[in-house]
């Protein structure tokens, strides 16, 4: 049996795409909308978020941005158990975009310790530039 043909057109019958061994990863944006991860006791939610962010630090390439809104903005404020992980991601060039409207609503604007306070326009721009958007 002969090997499959490499084709210029991906849907050409009897052919496979030539594979160079390199997979191009596209920009990813992660939306963080809760003060933790999942639906459980807050301590478990925050433990899961800490684990997720610690594993995210080792991903290549890292995501383009993490966008925080609604209860998620609490993760970038004083006392958050994930601040160290977020600082490390920011040091790697990951944008941390924090919703100003949400911070104002909760009255915690002065407690932000990491990231850049922005508006919904900034979050929308990050989403529209991304090839993949993940919501936690």
Give the chain as a 3 state SS string.
Answer: CCCCEECCCCCCCCEECCCCCCCCCCCEEEEECCCCCCCCCHHHHHHHHHHHHHHHCCCCCCCCEEEECHHHHHHHECCCCCHHHHHHHHHCCCEEEEEHHHHHHHCCHHHECCCEEECHHHHHHHHHHCCEEEEC
Average pLDDT over residues 6-12: 43
Q: Is residue 1 part of a domain?
A: no
Mean predicted lDDT score pLDDT of the chain: 86
Domain hosting residue 95, numbered range? 24-135
Residues 32-83: tens digit of each pLDDT: 999 999 999 999 999 999 999 999 999 999 999 999 999 999 999 999 999 9
5 located within any domain: no
0.95 surpassed by pTM: no
pLDDT at residue number 93: 95
CA distances from 11 to 6, 8, 18 (A): 11, 9, 13
Is position 75 within any domain? yes
Instruction: Give me the number of domains the chain comprises.
Output: 1
Specify the residue for token string 């890292």.
62
Of 39 and 96, the one with more pLDDT: 96
The CATH number given to whatever domain includes residue 83 is 3.40.1260.10
Q: How far apart are CA 135 and CA 34, in angstroms?
A: 10
């Amino acid at each position: 049996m002969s090997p499959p043909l490499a084709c210029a057109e991906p849907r050409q019958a009897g052919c496979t795409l030539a594979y160079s061994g390199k997979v191009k990863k596209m920009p990813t944006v992660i939306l963080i909308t809760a003060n933790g991860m999942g639906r459980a006791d807050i301590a478990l939610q925050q433990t899961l978020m800490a684990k997720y962010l610690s594993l995210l630090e080792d991903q290549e390439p890292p995501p383009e941005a993490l966008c925080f809104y609604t209860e998620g903005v609490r993760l970038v404020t004083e006392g958050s158990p994930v601040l160290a992980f977020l600082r490390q991601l920011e040091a790697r060039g990951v944008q941390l975009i924090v919703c100003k409207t949400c911070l104002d609503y909760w009255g915690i604007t002065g407690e932000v310790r990491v990231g850049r306070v922005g508006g919904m326009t900034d979050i929308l721009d990050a989403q529209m530039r991304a090839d993949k958007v993940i919501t936690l």
